[in-house]
Amino acid sequence: MRIYAVTPLHVGAQELARRQERYDWIAPDGVVVDLHDLPFGAPMSLETPADMRSSERYVVEALAGAPAGYDAVMPDCVLDPGVAAMQADPAFGIVIGVLRVTVAHAAAVGETVAAVVRNTAIADEMRAVVDGYGWGAVVTPVRTLDLDFAAVADGDRWRERLAGAAAELAGSGAAALINGCSAVGLGAAEGAAPIPVVDPVIRTLRLVAAGAAA
């Protein structure tokens, strides 16, 4: 399966290359993700509700222009910008939503999960998207790590805060903790946390690969 993906931001060549390298490393056999940057003028970070809406518009426009030869399109973002609308439009074909697939899996196996995200605006957006899917009771709570955007590329700072949040949420009743950023790898944090930590992109790509092979 070939997936045409776009970032939710204008990230520039260096960060795009880092994110593409991550996809090349985590994509399961039979899945290829080709990642593309949004153009200059798109948000450069998600800090406000206005940033979310602008990102969504740019993502939908970019994925509408995906060239032929791909089996699916996907926003490279755990907030699923534009996914619900694109999935309702047959012109887009197969649209993969990282958050939708990850939470659907939890709902399917009867789990409740927690999530961590970078800031309050992103937490509010994740909550709104999950509620819109009808799975509000599946994801509780959504915690913020209170990090600046630079922490996305500086994974060590992110993983340090993630470890603290995992320790706090270990007794919350959540079966797992969703790492709420598609561009941050978990590294050793995945196995060391007191609660299972889910990389939503890895889970999504594995489920997509399994579905394609079924």
* 183: helix, strand or coil: coil
Ranking 48-57, 156-165, 188-197 by mean pLDDT, the lowest is 188-197
Q: Which domains does the chain have, with CATH numbers?
A: 2-97+203-213 (3.40.50.1860), 99-200 (3.40.50.1860)
Token pair 């922490």 is at which residue? 151
Is the bond leading into 141 cis (omega within 30 degrees of zero)?
yes
Q: Which of 29-55 are b and which e, b meaning 16 or more Cβ less than 10 Å from the residue's Cβ?
A: eebebebbbbeeebbebbbeeebbebb
pTM of this structure: 0.92
Residue 178's contacts (CB-CB under 8 Å, 6 or more residues apart) are 78, 102, 103, 113, 114, 115, 116, 139, 198, 200
Q: Are 106 and 85 in contact (CB under 8 A)?
A: no
Q: Which residue has the higher pLDDT, 82 or 171?
A: 82
Residue 124's contacts (CB-CB under 8 Å, 6 or more residues apart) are 49
Mean pLDDT of 14-27: 94
Q: Are 24 and 93 in contact (CB under 8 A)?
A: no
Residue 13's contacts (CB-CB under 8 Å, 6 or more residues apart) are 37
Summarised one tens digit per residue, pLDDT across range 28-66 is: 999 999 999 999 999 999 999 999 999 999 999 999 999
pLDDT at 196: 86
Widest CA span of the chain, in angstroms? 48
pLDDT at 25: 93
Summarised one tens digit per residue, pLDDT across range 85-143 is: 999 999 999 999 999 999 999 999 999 999 999 999 999 999 999 999 999 999 988 99
For residue 188, is pLDDT > 60? no
